[in-house]
Amino acid sequence: QVQPVEHGGGLVQAGGSLRLSCEVSGRTFREYAWGWFRQATGKEREFVAAVKWGADETTYADSVKGRFTISRDNAKSTVYLQMNNLRPEDTAVYYCDAVWGNDLNPYGYWGQGTQVTVSS
Protein backbone atom coordinates (compact mmCIF):
# COMPACT_ATOMS: atom_id res chain seq x y z
CA GLN A 1 0.00 0.00 0.00
CA VAL A 2 1.26 3.45 -0.89
CA GLN A 3 0.96 6.06 1.87
CA PRO A 4 2.54 9.51 1.62
CA VAL A 5 3.20 11.67 4.69
CA GLU A 6 3.92 15.34 4.12
CA HIS A 7 6.10 17.52 6.40
CA GLY A 8 7.68 20.93 6.46
CA GLY A 9 4.87 23.44 6.24
CA GLY A 10 4.66 26.53 8.40
CA LEU A 11 4.21 30.27 8.57
CA VAL A 12 6.65 32.41 6.60
CA GLN A 13 6.81 36.00 5.42
CA ALA A 14 6.55 36.87 1.76
CA GLY A 15 9.91 36.39 0.08
CA GLY A 16 10.87 33.60 2.44
CA SER A 17 11.54 29.92 1.81
CA LEU A 18 10.30 26.54 2.96
CA ARG A 19 11.26 22.98 2.09
CA LEU A 20 8.51 20.39 2.08
CA SER A 21 9.15 16.68 2.22
CA CYS A 22 6.93 13.71 1.47
CA GLU A 23 7.92 10.34 2.85
CA VAL A 24 6.24 7.40 1.18
CA SER A 25 5.73 4.00 2.76
CA GLY A 26 5.63 0.91 0.60
CA ARG A 27 8.20 -0.57 -1.74
CA THR A 28 6.89 0.89 -4.97
CA PHE A 29 8.07 4.49 -4.56
CA ARG A 30 10.61 4.37 -7.36
CA GLU A 31 8.09 2.93 -9.80
CA TYR A 32 6.03 6.10 -9.81
CA ALA A 33 6.35 9.63 -10.96
CA TRP A 34 5.49 11.95 -8.05
CA GLY A 35 3.84 15.28 -7.83
CA TRP A 36 2.97 18.08 -5.43
CA PHE A 37 -0.48 19.62 -5.38
CA ARG A 38 -2.04 22.36 -3.27
CA GLN A 39 -5.47 23.46 -2.19
CA ALA A 40 -6.26 26.92 -0.93
CA THR A 41 -9.36 27.57 1.15
CA GLY A 42 -12.42 27.65 -1.04
CA LYS A 43 -10.55 26.56 -4.15
CA GLU A 44 -10.00 23.32 -6.00
CA ARG A 45 -6.82 21.31 -5.59
CA GLU A 46 -4.28 22.28 -8.22
CA PHE A 47 -1.10 20.85 -9.66
CA VAL A 48 2.18 22.41 -8.53
CA ALA A 49 5.08 20.25 -9.75
CA ALA A 50 6.04 16.71 -10.74
CA VAL A 51 9.20 14.64 -11.09
CA LYS A 52 9.56 11.45 -13.10
CA TRP A 53 11.33 8.25 -12.12
CA GLY A 54 14.89 9.27 -12.91
CA ALA A 55 14.54 12.71 -11.32
CA ASP A 56 15.85 14.29 -14.51
CA GLU A 57 12.48 15.32 -15.89
CA THR A 58 10.40 17.84 -13.99
CA THR A 59 7.25 19.80 -14.73
CA TYR A 60 5.96 22.95 -13.00
CA ALA A 61 2.83 25.01 -12.95
CA ASP A 62 3.43 28.41 -14.52
CA SER A 63 2.67 30.11 -11.21
CA VAL A 64 5.69 28.50 -9.48
CA LYS A 65 8.26 28.24 -12.28
CA GLY A 66 11.57 29.72 -11.28
CA ARG A 67 10.64 29.75 -7.59
CA PHE A 68 9.93 26.10 -6.69
CA THR A 69 12.11 23.04 -7.26
CA ILE A 70 10.93 19.45 -6.99
CA SER A 71 13.34 16.60 -6.37
CA ARG A 72 13.29 12.99 -5.21
CA ASP A 73 15.52 10.59 -3.31
CA ASN A 74 14.63 7.04 -4.30
CA ALA A 75 16.85 5.56 -1.57
CA LYS A 76 14.80 7.41 1.06
CA SER A 77 11.42 7.07 -0.71
CA THR A 78 11.02 10.81 -0.34
CA VAL A 79 10.04 13.63 -2.65
CA TYR A 80 10.88 17.25 -1.83
CA LEU A 81 9.60 20.67 -2.79
CA GLN A 82 11.94 23.59 -2.24
CA MET A 83 9.90 26.79 -2.27
CA ASN A 84 11.69 30.13 -2.59
CA ASN A 85 10.44 33.69 -2.91
CA LEU A 86 7.09 32.69 -1.46
CA ARG A 87 4.05 34.84 -2.07
CA PRO A 88 0.78 35.20 -0.13
CA GLU A 89 -1.01 33.44 -3.00
CA ASP A 90 1.09 30.33 -2.30
CA THR A 91 -0.85 29.88 0.95
CA ALA A 92 -2.52 26.46 0.84
CA VAL A 93 -2.42 22.92 2.12
CA TYR A 94 0.22 21.05 0.13
CA TYR A 95 -0.12 17.38 -0.74
CA CYS A 96 1.99 14.88 -2.62
CA ASP A 97 0.71 12.00 -4.70
CA ALA A 98 1.90 9.57 -7.33
CA VAL A 99 0.96 10.76 -10.80
CA TRP A 100 0.38 9.09 -14.16
CA GLY A 101 -0.02 9.94 -17.80
CA ASN A 102 0.99 12.94 -19.83
CA ASP A 103 -1.51 15.04 -17.87
CA LEU A 104 0.14 14.03 -14.56
CA ASN A 105 -3.11 12.85 -13.06
CA PRO A 106 -2.99 12.02 -9.35
CA TYR A 107 -3.58 8.43 -8.27
CA GLY A 108 -5.37 9.52 -5.12
CA TYR A 109 -2.90 8.29 -2.46
CA TRP A 110 -3.40 11.55 -0.59
CA GLY A 111 -1.72 12.13 2.75
CA GLN A 112 -2.89 14.55 5.42
CA GLY A 113 -1.14 17.46 3.74
CA THR A 114 0.97 20.20 5.27
CA GLN A 115 -0.18 23.79 5.73
CA VAL A 116 1.86 26.59 4.18
CA THR A 117 0.91 30.13 5.16
CA VAL A 118 2.66 33.13 3.62
CA SER A 119 2.08 36.50 5.26
CA SER A 120 2.39 39.77 3.36
Beta bridge partners of 100: 105
Residue 20 has pLDDT above 80, yes or no: yes
Residue 112 has pLDDT above 80, yes or no: yes
C-alpha span between 69 and 58 (Å, rounded): 9
d(Cα 105, Cα 11) in Å, to the nearest integer? 29
Q: What is the model's pLDDT at position 54?
A: 75
Q: Determine the pLDDT at residue 94.
A: 98
Which CA distances in Å does 63 have to 5, 41, 102?
A: 24, 17, 19
The DSSP symbol for 91 reads -
What is the reported pLDDT for 77?
A: 94
pLDDT at 7: 97
Q: At residue 2, what are phi and psi to the nearest 5 degrees?
A: -100, 125
| Number of Cβ atoms within 10 Å of the Cβ of 54 | 10
Q: What is the pLDDT of residues 27-60, one digit of tens each?
A: 788 889 999 999 999 999 999 999 998 767 999 9
C-alpha distances (whole Å) from 50 to each of 7, 37, 79, 118, 120 are 17, 9, 10, 22, 27
pLDDT tens-place string over residues 53-100? 876 799 999 999 999 999 999 999 999 999 999 999 999 999 999 999
